[in-house]
Amino acid sequence: MKKIRVLIAKPGLDGHDRGALVIAQALRDHGMEVIYTGLRQSPVQIVQAAIQEDVDVIGLSSLSGAHKTLFPKVIEVLKERDAEDIPVVGGGVIPAEDIPFLLDKGVSKIFTSGSSTEALAVYIKQLIDPDSDQAEAPNKVSHIGIAVDTIEKALPFYTDTLGLELEGVESVESEGVKVAFLKIGDSRFELLEPTNDQSSIKKFIDKKGEGIHHIALDVNDVDKRIETLKTRGIPLINQESKPGAHNSQIAFIHPKAAHGVLFELCQQQEGSDS
């Protein structure tokens, strides 16, 4: 397959290119051809270089705070030159509150200083070749798992106070839990009651008390997603998927990867009821 060609550019006046050089090397390590424009390039120079070098994607790096003017300017010049099919990815020191503005201006994605170069490489591969072997983003919250001492005592809050409907109760022996399902829109609350002392829900309640235990994300291919996370070095609790409630296949990401939140990846099987 043809190598992905990436132009890395630093628009604006800031005088450091260590970050851009690190990114360039990381993308080369991922088998991409990287052209680096050097410091202090104008949007016009950047677009010219991109067209001349026939790149697949432009990566803009900014530390100077000028991203709000310079990134949209690059996109504007691309349009003027009929080259707006070249996607623009941005990164650097960019406050989260500026990201929606930049996306709105046509930047495909912004990576902040907390992002890994691995995530950038994976994103570019997927952007250029959507059929590449990378998992898609999860499309909804499948359910929120809530640890309770007993379903019997917790249920009236959900059914009476909130007025939700109890869909069913199921025991998952392998996990030592009984699960009550309450539908809310396209998602569910799952009340998790421990059924033995080895249950991780029992340990959770002993340590932290009742409360939110995990958030489950609906994914279309849990095994593929696990592989993607592994290649990105994301710590997982389950190295392979396992059967969950409601005939699903599930795996947990380690909370240290997610700032203290336990995320479950949940794939509904064919023929299950959601």
Interaction site with Zn ion (CB under 5 A): 145, 216, 264
Q: Is 87 or 145 the residue whose CB approaches Zn ion more closely?
A: 145
Nearest of 109, 99, 8 to residue 59 by alpha carbon: 8
What's phi and psi for 207, nearest 5 deg?
A: -85, -45
Q: Is 37 or 248 the residue whose CB approaches Zn ion more closely?
A: 248
Q: Is 127 or 141 the residue whose CB approaches Zn ion more closely?
A: 141
The distance of closest approach from Cβ of residue 142 to Zn ion in the complex, given in angstroms and rounded to an integer, is 7
The distance of closest approach from Cβ of residue 214 to Zn ion in the complex, given in angstroms and rounded to an integer, is 6
Contact status, residue 156 vs residue 224, Cβ threshold 8 Å = no
The distance of closest approach from Cβ of residue 213 to Zn ion in the complex, given in angstroms and rounded to an integer, is 8
The distance of closest approach from Cβ of residue 235 to Zn ion in the complex, given in angstroms and rounded to an integer, is 19
The distance of closest approach from Cβ of residue 118 to Zn ion in the complex, given in angstroms and rounded to an integer, is 27
The distance of closest approach from Cβ of residue 159 to Zn ion in the complex, given in angstroms and rounded to an integer, is 20
Q: Is 145 or 176 the residue whose CB approaches Zn ion more closely?
A: 145
Q: Is 193 or 264 the residue whose CB approaches Zn ion more closely?
A: 264
Beta bridge partners of 178: 171, 193
The distance of closest approach from Cβ of residue 143 to Zn ion in the complex, given in angstroms and rounded to an integer, is 6
Q: Is 14 or 264 the residue whose CB approaches Zn ion more closely?
A: 264
Contact status, residue 78 vs residue 86, Cβ threshold 8 Å = yes
Q: Is 75 or 216 the residue whose CB approaches Zn ion more closely?
A: 216
Q: Which two tokens stand for residue 232?
A: 């990105």
Pairwise CA distance, residues 138 & 122, whole Å: 16
Pairwise CA distance, residues 247 & 267, whole Å: 9
